[in-house]
C-alpha cells in the first residue's frame, strides 16, 4: 500500500508538470514562489497599476505566448537589477504562467 501511495504522489506531480507549457517543464515552482516573495514583485505591480496588482497580468495583446512571458520576467530582472540566473527567470515565469496566464 505504501508503494502505491508513493507512486500515486509521483504520478500526481507528473500530471501537474504536464499541464505547464513545455518551456517551463523543468522549472522549480517553489524557487519561483520564493523569488517572487523575496523581490516583492506583487508590491511593485501594485505601485504600477494599483488595486491588488493583478491588472498587470495579461494586458491586451501584450503577453500572448510563454516566450513573451519569460521575456517580460527577464525585462523586470534587467530593469530592476534583480540578478536572476536564467533558471530563476524561468521559475518565476512558470509560477506566473501557472497562476495567471495558463499557456499550455
Residue linked to cell 501537474: 16
- H or E segment and range at residue 2: helix 2-18
How many CA atoms does the CB half-sphere of 47 hold within 13 Å? 5
Q: Which three cell numbers stand for residue 12?
A: 500526481
Query: Per-residue pLDDT for 10 more than 50?
Result: no
Q: Distance (Å, rounded) from C-alpha 95 to C-alpha 34? A: 10
* pTM of the predicted structure, to 2 decimals: 0.78
At 57 the pLDDT is 80
> pLDDT tens-digit profile of 39-91?
999 999 999 889 998 888 866 668 999 999 999 999 999 999 999 999 999 99
Q: Which three cell numbers stand for residue 52?
A: 491588488
Residue linked to cell 505591480: 45
Amino acid at each position: 500500500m505504501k508503494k502505491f501511495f508513493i507512486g500515486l504522489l509521483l504520478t500526481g506531480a507528473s500530471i501537474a508538470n504536464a499541464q505547464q507549457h513545455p518551456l517551463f517543464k523543468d522549472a522549480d515552482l517553489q524557487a519561483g514562489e520564493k523569488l517572487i516573495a523575496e523581490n516583492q514583485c506583487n508590491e511593485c505591480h501594485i505601485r504600477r497599476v494599483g488595486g491588488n496588482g493583478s491588472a498587470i497580468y495579461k494586458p491586451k495583446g501584450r503577453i500572448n505566448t510563454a516566450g513573451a512571458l519569460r521575456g517580460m520576467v527577464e525585462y523586470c530582472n534587467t530593469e530592476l537589477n534583480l540578478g536572476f540566473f536564467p533558471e530563476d527567470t524561468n521559475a518565476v515565469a512558470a509560477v506566473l504562467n501557472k497562476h495567471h496566464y495558463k499557456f499550455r
